[in-house]
Structure 1
Amino acid sequence: MKKDMGKTYGRLTILKEKRENKRTYYYCRCVCGTEKWIRADTIKNGSIVSCGCYNKEINLIKPVDITNEKFGKLVALKHTKSRDKYNGSVVWECKCECGNTCYIAESRLVKGEIKSCGCLGQENSKNNIQKAIKVHLKEHIVDGTNIPVISRKIVKANNTSGVTGVGWDKSRNTWRATITFKGKVYYLGRYKNKEDAIKVRKQAEEKIFGEFLKWYKENIKGR
């Protein structure tokens, strides 16, 4: 239980604990400033979220009728008996444009803090990824070639040779060399010695990447 010291449950922050009559009690500070001992199990299971001020507040808060009103992608259908555990606001059953049903506190709907069941955030994330891909393609893909990839010196962690395009083929006990250019993989042969495979790979890089990068720098980069 000591691990709960300093944690916040609802409006209560745990300051210290004690054992009494075979039960654990937490000494808590409420957001309203009140401090008191409360049974730990009632705090942990969520049945008590404040010193008592929460219940007083929700009795004063009357639900506003927002039935059928739209908030972003959400339509408020009906209010429930539940209350937001932080501010006592009435929780509404809502229908999202995507078809999902969700339950949102009235205060969060009215303030515009929540505008969907969560699908809007997923859509925004998807759109951002698509935009990033378009930017990458526009800035880095030239004539079907990924400029940063062929320019980089860093070798992937799973590479067995220490050189991009050269790897150990367990099935044939040889070193296999390849090079990828404009989306096509070119086979450069298999070699008993790693050094021979690396040599062929480096020669291919100079022939293919070298001329292409020179052309790119002279004609495309900086436009």
Structure 2
Amino acid sequence: MVVEEKSPEKGHAAFWICKCDCGNYTDVASTKLIQGTTQSCGCQLKKAREKWKSIYKDEKIQEKIKHTFRQNDGREKGTKLSILKLAIGDKLKANNASGVTGVSYSKRDKRWRSYITVKHVRYNLGYFKDKESAIQARKQAEKELVAPILNKYKDKC
């Protein structure tokens, strides 16, 4: 890519008209030129995508990718088993104020709420007057929804 001339003003950023190796012209921000993050008008990316599409069409490669993914990823229908394991573990997120994963206090409703997310589906377990009831609902959901999956894949977690 060769810088030809300065482009007309576009807001506060400085742009340059550049000629790509393929012959096309494109506007590139000064910061992109300085950082070296722009190397073409987009033609290299298009070529790379086409190359990967043709490689991926090969059935042997598709099967190898699927096998490797299944073998190494530790997933159950889109859910990482390690995340499920954390969901019922003792480790809390930094922003957790209740002390229990999946239990929070709703200031608007002035009640404790309980929820759990499994396989990208969030289950709202309800609103409760006291924290203990919300915790019990969460623990029951863990037993019903998470424990069977973890037991099925004991050797993977």
Give the alignment's TM-score, normalised by structure 2: 0.55
Question: Which amino acid is the alignment partner of residue 92 of structure 2?
Answer: V
Matches for 1:136-147 after TM superposition, within 5 Å: 139-147=73-81
More strand by proportion, 1 or 2? Answer: 1
Q: 1:100 aligns with which of 23, 27, 33?
A: 27
| 1:140-160 deviation line (CA, Å, top 9, x unaligned) | 432132222211132222222
**RMSD across aligned positions (CA):** 3.8
Do 2:113 and 2:127's aligned partners in 1 also have CA atoms closer than 8 Å? yes
User: Which consecutive residues of structure 1, in runs of 5 or more, have no partner in the other structure?
Assistant: 1-73, 79-92, 104-113, 125-134
Distance in 1 of aligned mates of 2:127 and 2:3: 67
Match of 2:125 in 1: 188
* C-alpha spacing 1:75/1:202, structure 2 compared with 1 (3 Å): same
Identity of aligned residues (%): 35
Do 1:102 and 1:117's aligned partners in 2 also have CA atoms closer than 8 Å? no
Matches for 1:27-46 after TM superposition, within 5 Å: none
SS at match of 2:26: coil
User: Which consecutive residues of structure 2, in runs of 5 or more, have no partner in the other structure?
Assistant: 6-16, 46-67
Distance in 2 of aligned mates of 1:155 and 1:136: 29
1:200 and 2:137 aligned: yes
Distance in 1 of aligned mates of 2:143 and 2:19: 60
1:163 and 2:90 aligned: no
| 1:40-70 deviation line (CA, Å, top 9, x unaligned) | xxxxxxxxxxxxxxxxxxxxxxxxxxxxxxx
How far apart are residue 119 of structure 1 and its match? 2.4
How far apart are residue 180 of structure 1 and its match? 0.9
| 1:164-212 deviation line (CA, Å, top 9, x unaligned) | 1111011111100011111111121111111111111112112211110
Do 1:145 and 1:181's aligned partners in 2 also have CA atoms closer than 8 Å? yes
Question: Which amino acid is the alignment partner of residue 26 of structure 2?
Answer: G
Give the alignment's TM-score, normalised by structure 1: 0.40
Do 2:115 and 2:124's aligned partners in 1 also have CA atoms closer than 8 Å? yes
Aligned length: 111
Structure possessing the higher relative contact order (Cα contacts under 8 Å, 6 or more residues apart)? 2
Matches for 1:5-154 after TM superposition, within 5 Å: 74-75=1-2, 95-96=19-20, 99-100=26-27, 117-120=36-39, 139-152=73-86, 153=89, 154=91
* C-alpha spacing 1:184/1:76, structure 2 compared with 1 (3 Å): closer
Question: Which amino acid is the alignment partner of residue 212 of structure 1?
Answer: I
Distance in 1 of aligned mates of 2:69 and 2:104: 28
More helix by proportion, 1 or 2? Answer: 2
